[in-house]
A = this chain, B = another copy of it.
């Protein structure tokens, strides 16, 4: 399968390159960027000897002629125009931006700018691989989930679907490494100010909130709005969500771990941790795993769910390739069997 990447020089794009370079079935056909013609090694010297090819300008027609699958790792607001070009020509598209994840009205409310045309976003399948596998398989257009929603939804799915929780009790305290903010420069993501620091941002206003709520509602129509806080960690890669829910009835930690193990039994990238142990961010670095730990507190009747992912892998490029595998009827894990880098 010939794949092309648009928006290659962002961190999502460059992580796609790392994965696809080592993928047994996908062949990188061409890479594109608004930078136009330059060797990728000029932007990313770590590719010397590995990827001695040039970036090309974004010419959708040319790309369509060359590719079986196109990954869009473009900033918010760009995908709309590109997508229609490709779906008309029956080319599979996986969009890593947030542009196709919400209906138009919701999008505008939270992203504060116009959405793509509803005729496009309606065609997109939400690519939460573990939960929408059948729809992904039959789709030509994937709205690849955001990093925060991926960790949050994988954490909350089993208890939400099983109806075990007070539907208005969800609090998600999320922490992300700086690469999640992308490569564009800002004072908050400069080293001197992000290092030896922890910063909170977009409290209750993050554009990933409606994406989380929309999926939760599909699982359980009673779910109310969620409280969601995002923190900027002084690390490059990695994300943790600490989710809190009120249990309707008493359940021991052990029982809930059993539930999660059953639910995720057939899903190789989800690892449920044994009782009294919890995952750390570094334990999934560079890999496509989402590790989950649980603790039900009998004092408060509240369940604490800790999930960690590599925001550039399971939170972006890794899940995108997982979805591409599913769309192509390949093994879901193909080319994604990276062992976490530790320490």
Contact = CB atoms under 8 A, between A and B. Distances in A.
A286 B242 contact: no
A302 B209 CA distance: 15
Q: What range describes how many residues of A lie at the interface?
A: 35 or more
Within the oligomer, what is the number of copies of this chain?
4
A298 to B, nearest CB: 9
B200 A229 contact: no
A219 interface: no
Interface in A208-258: 224-227, 229, 231, 233-238, 240, 242, 244
A332 interface: no
Contact of A50 (B204, B281, B308, B339): B339
Nearest to A343: B192
A75 interface: no
B234 A191 contact: yes
Contact of A44 (B195, B289, B304, B342): B342
A193 interface: yes
A238 B197 contact: yes
Contacts of A285: 196, 341
A189 interface: yes
A185 B183 contact: no
A50 B336 CA distance: 13
A286 B341 contact: yes
Given A191-B194, A192-B183, A199 B280 contact: yes
A297 interface: yes
Contacts of A173: 173, 229, 242, 244
Contacts of A284: 46
B48 A271 contact: yes
Contacts of A235: 195-198, 234
Interface in A38-62: 44-50
A291 interface: yes
Given A271-B48, A283-B46, A242 B304 contact: no
A217 B226 CA distance: 28
B195 A191 contact: yes
Interface of A: 11, 14, 17-18, 21-22, 44-50, 168, 171, 173, 175, 177-179, 181, 183, 185-187, 189-201, 203-204, 224-227, 229, 231, 233-238, 240, 242, 244, 268, 271, 273, 277-287, 289, 291, 293, 295, 297, 299-300, 302, 304, 306, 308, 337, 339-343
Nearest 10 interchain pairs by C-beta: A197-B282, A185-B185, A173-B173, A46-B283, A191-B194, A46-B340, A225-B299, A204-B297, A178-B191, A192-B343
Given A173-B229, A190-B191, 11 more contacts: A11-B192, A46-B342, A168-B300, A185-B185, A191-B234, A193-B343, A195-B195, A196-B236, A196-B281, A233-B233, A286-B286
